[in-house]
Structure 1
Amino acid sequence: MILYNEQQVIQLISEDAWMMRIMQDAKTLQLPDWWVCAGFVRSKIWDTLHGYTERTPLPDVDVIYFDPDHLDEQTEKVLEQQLHELNPHVPWSVKNEARMHVVNHITPYTSSTDAISKFPETATALGLTLDDQDQLILTAPCGINDVLNMVLTPTPFFLETEERIKIFEQRMNKKNWKQIWPSIKVRTSLTLDH
């Protein structure tokens, strides 16, 4: 299967009962500016583009939100527990992006989408949420061309410093995604490795 645009990605995910259950579970928390993001979205796209009939296991399902009024990390643990009670077979991870700049030693994010734009790879800088009518909304602050073309490249934020480029490269070595999805290409600022 080939995916050409955002509408096809949304359609693909809307037809996946497991993913939509996760979206509904996350929505029950009624969090401000919430998204299910990163590998949850990217892996579905790459599994589809590789023609896989079985889902690649996810190490975690990232739920993020933006709430500057409640920055206690313990709140995130309570929310993870609530999701675990709803759906215990999912490796939930919940993070309030209003405090994650402290963990990442950078200037504060302005929203969840701003935080997503500063994820390491453009192909992972993706998030999904549900509107009031339970329609999927996709945010892709770095665009969707890289994920659809199976290219791993640093986000503009990660291209700003040598230190961040090194972090990106270390992630690529550690994640070993090319073993899982052989068609992907890894690109740093100036090189493209096949």
Structure 2
Amino acid sequence: MIGHLPLDEQLVALKSVLSRNEVLLEVLHRTAGLGLRGWYLTAGCLFQTVWNVATDRHPTSGIKDYDVFYFDDHDLSWEAEDRVIKTSAEAFAGLPADVEVRNEARVHLWYEQKFGAACTPYTSSEAAIDSFAATTCCLGVRLEPDGQWRVYAPHGLADVFNLVVRPNPVLAPRQVYETKTARWRRQWPELTVLGWPSESAILTRASP
């Protein structure tokens, strides 16, 4: 199984598997041309492509959208982010998918109102990826100027390849995790979804 291979071999396998999703490749190439600061293609479109290939589904099956994170803390106004969103929409025109581009430097300005929990300002796109509700989601890929793939995977790739969804109780509420995993289970019943930890376990984990 790929999830039991050495990490360098898992990285090679990841690129091979993701390359089977032609929409994902096109999003990567078009995003690379936008000149966004610290950007990554991230979240569902990545690990769900792996799930699809691992379960003999079409590589794009069940993927709702393609999320692009970037980080620009020079201008935190909505107007600045909206300009990037509109420019990106033109770049992604014609693709058979929704591509959502968001400035992660602004998340703390709206997160609490939407999810009911305060969010400390992020310092990078990587920090934003770290806070996904499941560690399996904590994955980002981008194309460097020389065409090389840059992969950010703070929790490794074993769970992604092994179809294991593991909670990441650092920011997102339990309800967000359980709502997402319930939807994923309906689409990919082969998943092993681990339960949300108890409050005591979370407090123990957070203790120095």
Q: Same fold (TM over 0.5)?
A: yes
Q: Among residues 156, 164, 175, which one is paired with 1:166 in the alignment?
A: 175
Distance 2:75 2:170 in 1: 26
Give runs of aligned pairs for residues 1-194 of structure 1, distance below 5 A. 2-4=1-3, 5-14=10-19, 16-53=21-58, 55-88=60-93, 89=95, 90-104=97-111, 105-158=118-171, 164-173=173-182, 176-190=183-197
Question: Would you say how many aligned residue pairs link Structure 1 and Structure 2?
Answer: 184
TM-superposed CA distance for 1:45, in Å, is: 0.5
Q: Are the structure 2 counterparts of residues 75 and 91 from structure 1 closer, same or farther at C-alpha, using a change threshold of 3 Å?
A: farther
On the 8 A contact 1:97/1:115 being kept in 2, the answer is yes
Per-residue Cα deviation, 1:35-57 (whole angstroms, up to 9, x for no partner): 01001101111001111135214
Percent of matched pairs sharing the same residue: 27
Per-residue Cα deviation, 1:114-137 (whole angstroms, up to 9, x for no partner): 110101111111111111211111
Distance 1:143 1:17 in 2: 24
TM-superposed CA distance for 1:170, in Å, is: 3.1
On the 8 A contact 2:52/2:61 being kept in 1, the answer is yes
Distance 1:110 1:80 in 2: 21
Q: Are the structure 2 counterparts of residues 15 and 56 from structure 1 closer, same or farther at C-alpha, using a change threshold of 3 Å?
A: closer
| SS of 2:2 mapped into structure 1 | coil
Gaps of 5+ in 1: none
On the 8 A contact 2:41/2:67 being kept in 1, the answer is yes
| SS of 1:109 mapped into structure 2 | coil
Distance 1:24 1:142 in 2: 25
Per-residue Cα deviation, 1:58-97 (whole angstroms, up to 9, x for no partner): 3221111111102122333332322322232331211111
On the 8 A contact 1:142/1:155 being kept in 2, the answer is no
Letter in 2 for 1:74: E
Distance 2:186 2:101 in 1: 28
Gaps of 5+ in 2: 4-9, 112-117, 199-208
User: TM-score scaled by structure 2?
Assistant: 0.79
After TM superposition, the structure 1 stretch with the greater mean CA deviation from structure 2, 11-20 or 123-132, is 11-20
TM-superposed CA distance for 1:9, in Å, is: 0.3
Distance 2:52 2:136 in 1: 13
TM-superposed CA distance for 1:32, in Å, is: 0.9
Q: CA RMSD in A?
A: 2.1
Distance 2:153 2:59 in 1: 25
User: TM-score scaled by structure 1?
Assistant: 0.84
